[in-house]
């Protein structure tokens, strides 16, 4: 008995309507993903433009004197450092080379 590639021999093959519906859903998902990626890229570029180029330096209480984040807990990262790391991790994306 030959079993067709689409399932059990008693089942109907997938219809073009189902294929088109699935294709449309995938395309909508792609469009939403592309829009979300563009917004993320813009946000990372904005963060990059707001980063202070100075290096962090911490006082004996753990506060970053360079950027004015004086109430950091001991060992907590300065938000400027976190921003630098976020931009660096996504450099290829904001330079248009990722995909």
How many whole angstroms separate alpha carbon 83 and alpha carbon 56?
12
Distances (CA, A) of 78 to 23, 38, 70, 91, 98: 45, 27, 9, 20, 27
8 has pLDDT over 80: no
Q: How much is the pTM?
A: 0.69
Q: What's residue 4's pLDDT?
A: 55
35 has pLDDT over 60: yes
- Cβ atoms of 2 and 9 closer than 8 Å: yes
How many whole angstroms separate alpha carbon 66 and alpha carbon 87?
19
Q: What is the mean pLDDT of residues 45-66?
A: 94
Min mean pLDDT across 14-18, 41-45, 54-58, 70-74 is at 14-18
How many whole angstroms separate alpha carbon 99 and alpha carbon 92?
9
Q: What's residue 66's pLDDT?
A: 97
Q: What is the mean pLDDT of residues 39-59?
A: 95
Structural domain spans, the chain: 16-94
């Amino acid at each position: 008995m030959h079993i067709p590639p689409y399932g059990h021999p008693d089942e109907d093959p997938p219809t073009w309507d189902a294929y088109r519906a699935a294709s449309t859903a995938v395309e909508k998902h792609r469009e939403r993903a592309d829009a979300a990626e563009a917004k993320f890229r813009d946000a990372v570029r904005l963060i990059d433009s707001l980063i202070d180029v100075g290096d962090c330096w911490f006082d004996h209480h753990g506060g970053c004197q360079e950027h004015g984040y004086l109430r950091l807990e001991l060992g907590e990262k300065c938000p400027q450092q976190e921003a630098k790391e976020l931009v660096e991790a996504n450099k290829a994306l904001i330079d248009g080379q990722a995909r």
